[in-house]
């Protein structure tokens, strides 16, 4: 994680920046098959910024890939609750995830 932070702009400048970098790191970890580490990384970031709907969306996707459908649905619901900042298209895509 520290290497990712150094390569992508140095140390985090605040909670939002940290959360976005942790999301990026989580996507990389997921891509190389390290889903549990991805979930842990993203969870730490989401503790700092509970309004980051995209982060909760990705958390739901990660949890779904591990088979934890209950936790995935909870993450998608958190994303919906924070989605007012992102507009109707984002909210509609989240609603679709909740229905599946």
DSSP state of 15: H
pTM of the model: 0.71
Share the mean pLDDT of the chain: 80
- What mean pLDDT comes out for the span 44-73? 90
Question: Domains in the chain, ordered, with CATH?
Answer: 2-99 (1.25.40.10)
The pLDDT of residue 97 is above 60: yes
Reading the block at residue 96, the tokens are 């679709």
Q: Compute the average pLDDT of residues 8-28.
A: 68
Q: Is the pLDDT of residue 70 over 90?
A: yes
Query: 9-18: per-residue pLDDT in tens?
Result: 444 455 566 7
């Amino acid at each position: 994680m520290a290497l990712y932070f150094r390569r992508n702009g140095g140390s985090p400048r605040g909670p939002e920046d940290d959360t976005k970098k942790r999301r990026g790191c989580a996507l990389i970890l997921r891509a190389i098959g390290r889903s549990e580490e991805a979930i842990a990384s993203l969870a730490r970031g989401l503790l700092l910024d509970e309004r980051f709907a995209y982060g909760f969306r990705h958390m739901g996707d990660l949890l779904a890939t591990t088979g934890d459908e209950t936790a995935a649905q909870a993450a998608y619901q958190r994303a919906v609750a924070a989605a007012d900042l992102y507009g109707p298209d984002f909210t509609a895509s989240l609603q679709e995830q909740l229905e599946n």
